[in-house]
Every structure is written in structure tokens, then in C-alpha cells.
Amino acid sequence: MNEVILEKISSDGRVETMCSAVAVFVISFVVFYMSYANRFFMRRRMKELGIYALLGYTKTRMLCLLTLENSLICAGGVCAALPAGGLLHKGAVGGITAVLGLTVDSSRIPLINLRAAAFCLLTVLAVLAALTLSNARLLWRSALMETIRMERRTEKPFRLRPAAGVLGVLLLFAGYGLALDMGRGKASFWNRIGFSPIALLTMLLVVIGTALFILAFLPCACIKFRERKTIFYRESTIITVPKFMSRLRTNAKSLILLILLSGGTLAVFGATVLSVWYPLASLERIIPSSMEFRVLDSGEKTAAIKALDKTLGSGGYEFCETTVKKVKGASERLPVEYGISADKGREPGFECIRESAYGSLRRLQGKRNNLPSLRENECILIKYRPDPSKVDIGAAYALETGGGKTCKVTVKDTSLENPIGFANSVGTLVVTDEVFEKLSEGPAEAYTVMSFGGKGLRTEKRAYEALRPILSENPYFVSAFQRKSELIKLNSSTLLLISFAAVIFLIATGSILYFQTVSSAVYDRPDYEIMGKMGYNHDMIRRAVRRQVRIYFLVPFLMGTLHSVFALFCYKSALMDDLLGKSSAVLVPLLFSIGSYSLIYLIYYQMTKKACYGIILNWKGR
């Protein structure tokens, strides 16, 4: 609802659409989260409500009492949220303007947006009404005189189903296998059968496998572990395993939901980070020089050099002129790169450059020349996409030299280290200087590419602004600075919104785990009092509590992370153009996403552990 910022960052309505979509998801989850918390605590309060019934409270009076409590909680939340939200909004605006380099009149942006405050209030009132109806339904369906022990009714004996547990593990492996199959490219099931049906099948396999793993496999594993007497009968293990089994009885469905929620949230967040980071990392290949353009007019070259001399000085940059020959060739196995330019409306062919020119360009770009030296009639093929199988090595190409004559060259090696950006050359062939001279004798199209480099020039805004008015009509002019700024501007708002939604969902996941663990600690406190009388000291009880909290937090964390890793592999293989050819290219965004997720998780783990210490050890006055 900030019209000042939207005017700056949105011109096609994309940001508004993204904001609306994220708002719908966040509001829906807030409604679910508040409903879950309300049901959770209502079940824990049935004993209290039963006592109210014994004291003569009617269901109507109890409903009014519950509604008043919820109203006070919501009122306190709104009163705290409005100023806090205003401050966070100011911080978000400051971050956006700093990243995008915007100039914004902050006086036009109020601390609290009245439209947003009214929308927030209406949402809270709607949720409050829904909670009141839910409480009324629960009260009128319950016989309150029988609710004294209602919170314990869900604890039923385990029905061991080892076959279902094994099936769950197999379904998970099958889902992960289908995700990895995406890496086979055209030979994969995703390509042969279709993306949508295989994606749906993979999701179903993982969801059903997760449910069976929690409902059937984990209980069987705990039973088997309990039968290992040498391991089971230890001071902490004999407490931790039965308590974890009790949690599985009461909270199995919630655990499944948390695993799927955390996995899906982490996958979406990781995919968004990957979508922002990968194009930035690929800039070294897309535009290897700081700036370059194809010379369409001799005056452009002179004007460009004069403009840079005036802006940076003659020593503030370097440049290199490269002659490119567009040559037609023939072969039994022409590479994919030969026809890529045809997709952009150009004539198919090889774009040949000298071996010496390749070395000069690499030095200009501050990079080493890692290509092997060439003999006569040998060449290096610059690949557009990685080719781990190296099928092009050894291929022979007959390049036209004019007069019906050809010059045969053999591919000695392939490389991803292109010296010229893809805007000016795709399907680059590095040939010896002797072969290049032969090609110059023919009718091949020739053009010159001007490349600029120098220390810090890739991030130099002044250099780009000096050349932009001169080359505004040149479609082959590209700048690393301009492209990076454009990518950041296009993706920063999306990353901010998705990050906000992801943090909300992860906070909700941690809060649900906190509620369940602390609530269980309240009811388990008498058991720990008995343990204290049996000789368990303070440190032994803390160790047992810590292990219980840890194992309950680890299950959704590990399984959610595992689900998201395979989902991200599918996303990268299916929807992203692989230009770097490195499996490690996914590691940075993946580690960033998992690190952010782990930080939130760790905070909730520490909070939950300390809360449980306070509840369980309080009887000792500590």
C-alpha cells in the first residue's frame, strides 16, 4: 500500500501482483496459525472448563469468557503490531532505497499507513469471529462434566505396522529418485512423459512417504530400539525414547504438517534466492568484459574512447578490438552452438576469432588463459552450455574459405570460458592465426567487437553513463554494471517479499513446536518429580530434557531440509539455464537458505529448552 515506493520499483504491475499473492498466503497462514493455537490451548484447558461447569458456569458464559480473553489478546497484539510494523516498514523502505539507489521523499511515507492499519484490524476481527464460532462448536459438542481428562484421551496404544513403515521409506526414496532423474536431461522421465504429471507424482510420493514414515516407521524404529536393552537401559535413553513415542502418539499429524510446511517453505525461499543469485553469478559468462559493443560505425569507436578519456582519464581503462569472422561450416556432427544464433534471427555459423585475440581478451578481463596451445588445423569450441560428456572433442569441421574451398579444423578441446559476451558471439571457435588468415580470404562476414576492461570498471557507473548516450541506438552494446543493476532491480522486491513470507512461516513452525513441547513439559512434570526422588540429580534431568527437545526438533528440521534440497535440484535442472556448469553453483543459495532456516530454528530450540528447564526444575526452586 506504499504508493511512493511502488511508483519507483513497479512499472508493469508485477510487484503489485506479487505483493497481493504474498499477502494472501501470509493472511491465510496467520488464520490457520491462530486457529491451530486456539484449538491447541482449548484442548489443554478442557479440565479448567470442566471445573467451571461444576461451579455452575453455563456454556454461554464460558463462551463469553473465552471470547473476552481472545479479544484482549488480539487488542494487545494490534496495539503492539501497529508501531512495530510501522518501524519495520520504515526499515524495509530504507533497505530498498539503499539497494536500488532510489531517491525517495521520506516525509511522504507516514509511520503508520492508515489503510494498512484498517486492513489489519479487519483481518483480526474476522479471525476473532472465526475463533468464537470454533469455540462455540467445541463447547456445544462437548459434555463438559467429562472433560477433566480430555487432553489425555488422544494417547492410544501404538498399532505397529512395519509393512506401512517400509512402504513409507520406499516411497520417499522413489520420490527422491524421480527428483534426481531430472539431471538426466532429455533422457529423463520428466522430458519423456511430461513435467506436470511427474512433478505431481513426485510430490504425492514424498507427501505419502512422509506420512507413513512418521505414523508407521518411526514407532517401529522406537520399539526396535527399546528392545536393545544394552542401549535402552541408560539414564537418559530410558526417559527420552518413551517420551518421544508419547509425542508421536499425540502429535503425529502435527509433525507431518510441520515437516511438509518447513520443507515447502525452505524450497520456495531457496528457489527465490537461487533465482536472484544465479543470474548474477552467470554475468561473468554473459558479459565477460566490463563493457563491449559491436562496431557498427567507425565514429562510435572514436566517440566512445573520447567519452571514457574525459570521464575516467586515459589510464582509467583498457580496451581491445577483436575481429570476428562469421563462417559457415559442414560436419557430420555440428555442435548445438552452430545454430543457436539462428534462434535470434541471425545466420547460423561459427564465429571465429584468433588464438592471440583470445589471449588478449582474457588478459583484459583479468583472467588466465587456460586453453591448450593449438597446432595448425586445430581449434577450441566455446560451449554455450556445459557438456560433461565432451562429445564435441575430435569433431572435424570444414570451414568455407571462398571459391568453393574449405579449411578443415579439428576440435582439440571445449571450454566454457568465452571471451566475448553472448550478445555479440555465440558458437565461438578459437582458431590459429594461420587458419584465421585463410578465412579472411573468403567471403565470410566480418565485424569488430570493442571490449573494455580495467580494475573496478565492472562496477563503475560513470563509465556506463558516459557510453550510454553514444551507443543508445546500438543493439549490441552491453554493460556488466547495467545488467547487474537491472537484475537487482527486477528481483530485489520479489526476494524481499518471499523472504518475509518464508520468515513468517518458519516462525510459525518454530512456535508450534514450542507450544507442543512446553505443553508436554507441563504434563510431564510429575514424572520428573518422581525421577528426582529416585536419585536423578539436576544435571541428569537437564540432560534428559535437552535430548527430548532436541530429537523432537530434529525430525522436522532434517526431513524438511532433505525435501527442500531435492526440490531445489529439480527447480535448477528444469527451470534454470545452466551456464556455469558447476554443481557447486547451487551451494551458495542453498547454504544461505538453510543457514537462515537453521538460525530461526536454533533460536526456538534454545527458547524451548530454557522454558522446559524452568517448568520441570521449578519444583526444586531453581
pLDDT digits (tens, 9 = 90+) for 78-119: 999 999 988 888 887 887 777 667 777 777 788 888 888 998
Write down the pLDDT at residue 147: 57
**β-strand partners of 411:** 379
Cα R_g (the chain), whole angstroms: 33
CB 451 within 8 A of CB 322: yes
Q: Listing from the earlier edge strand, what are the strands of the sheet with 396-402?
A: 329-330, 396-402, 405-415, 378-382, 428-431, 350-354, 318-327, 445-453, 291-294, 478-479
C-alpha cell at 195: 513435467
Write down the pLDDT at residue 114: 87
Write down the pLDDT at residue 177: 92
**Residue 150, CB-side half-sphere exposure with 13 Å CA sphere:** 21
Strands (DSSP E) found in 145-270: none
In total, the chain counts a number of residues equal to: 622
Q: Coil, strand, or helix at residue 279?
A: helix
Residue 313, Ramachandran bin (φ over 0: left; ψ between -120 and 50: alpha; else beta): left
Write down the pLDDT at residue 481: 92
Write down the pLDDT at residue 171: 94
Q: How far is CA 400 from the centre of its chain?
A: 48
Low-confidence ranges of the chain (pLDDT < 70): 8-15, 99-100, 143-159, 341-345, 575-577, 581-585, 618-622
Write down the pLDDT at residue 622: 40
Write down the pLDDT at residue 225: 81
Please tell me the distance from the alpha carbon of residue 586 to that of residue 319, in angstroms, as a whole number. 33
C-alpha cell at 557: 528440521
Write down the pLDDT at residue 66: 92
Write down the pLDDT at residue 54: 83
DSSP 354: E
Please tell me the distance from the alpha carbon of residue 341 to that of residue 336, in angstroms, as a whole number. 10
- The type of residue at 540 is M
Write down the pLDDT at residue 597: 87
The burial class, CB within 10 Å (0-12 / 13-18 / 19+), for 111 is exposed
Write down the pLDDT at residue 19: 75
Please tell me the distance from the alpha carbon of residue 560 to that of residue 550, in angstroms, as a whole number. 15
User: CA-based angle 238:253:569, to the nearest 5?
Assistant: 100
C-alpha cell at 358: 583470445
CB 165 within 8 A of CB 248: no
How do 350-354 and 478-479 pair as beta strands? unpaired
Write down the pLDDT at residue 432: 92
Residue with cell string 534440497: 565
| Cα–Cα separations (whole angstroms), residue 400 to 395, 408, 414, 529 | 16, 9, 21, 91
- The type of residue at 554 is L
CB 286 within 8 A of CB 278: no
**β-strand partners of 447:** 324
The burial class, CB within 10 Å (0-12 / 13-18 / 19+), for 331 is middle
Q: What b/e string do you get for 151-169 counting C-beta neighbours within 10 Å, with b at 16 or more?
A: beeeeeeeeebeebbebbe
Write down the pLDDT at residue 155: 47
Please tell me the distance from the alpha carbon of residue 173 to that of residue 167, in angstroms, as a whole number. 10
Q: How far is CA 401 from the centre of its chain?
A: 50
Please tell me the distance from the alpha carbon of residue 254 to that of residue 261, in angstroms, as a whole number. 10
Crossing angle for the helix pair 538-575 and 237-281, nearest 10 degrees?
Answer: 30
Whole-prediction pTM? 0.75
Please tell me the distance from the alpha carbon of residue 381 to that of residue 199, in angstroms, as a whole number. 35
